[in-house]
Amino acid sequence: MHRHLLAKILLVFTALISFSSYAEEEEQTGPKFAYFTLQPDLTTNFHTSGKKLGYLQVRIDIMVNDSSYVPLLEQHNPLIRDAVVEMLGQQGEEVVKSLSGREELRKKMIDQLNELLLAETGKTIVADLLFTKYLYQ
């Protein structure tokens, strides 16, 4: 009787241990998103319809699928900042001031940064890009 009870307890413990190790493996294989913030904030001009210059200040967070990509973003920070400032400076007033224009700009920026970083690192790094600050005047 004690032998059967001991065998059942041992079976339960074995099942629990194997289940917890399976859960740990599942957590380790999932994506490990990370964010990289371009600092300091970027400020540039944009085209307006009048004689005044338009100013745009943004803070950008870049999301990557793997936290091991963050050092690559730090290494290529000057290249990323240059590409973002150039792209923002080419935009017209209607793009900068509209929500749909901002969203289209965000998508284009993801594509352009991925192209640049693919040429430099051989990897598509940028999963998403967020404007965490977006001020225009």
* Average pLDDT score over residue span 45-56: 88
Query: What are the structural domain ranges in the chain?
Result: 1-30, 34-136
Q: Minimal CA–CA distance to 88: which of 108, 70, 68?
A: 108
| Cis peptide, bond prior to residue 31, ω within 30 of zero | no
Band of residue 67 on the pLDDT scale cut at 50, 70, 90: very high
Question: What pLDDT, in 10s, does the model give residues 74-103?
Answer: 999 999 999 999 999 999 999 999 999 999
What CA dihedral angle connects 36, 112, 128 and 68, to 10 degrees? -50
Domain 34-136: which CATH number of 3.30.479.30, 3.40.605.10, 1.10.3720.10, 3.65.10.10: 3.30.479.30
Q: For 14-28, b where at least 16 C-beta lie within 10 A, e where not — what string?
A: eeeeeeeeeeeeeee
pLDDT at residue 53, rounded to an integer: 87
Rounded alpha-carbon distances, angstroms, from residue 17 to 26, 32, 60: 14, 25, 44
Cβ atoms of 46 and 105 within 8 Å: the answer is no
Q: Minimal CA–CA distance to 70: which of 59, 80, 84?
A: 80
Range from 27-31, 59-63, 115-119 carrying the lowest mean pLDDT: 27-31
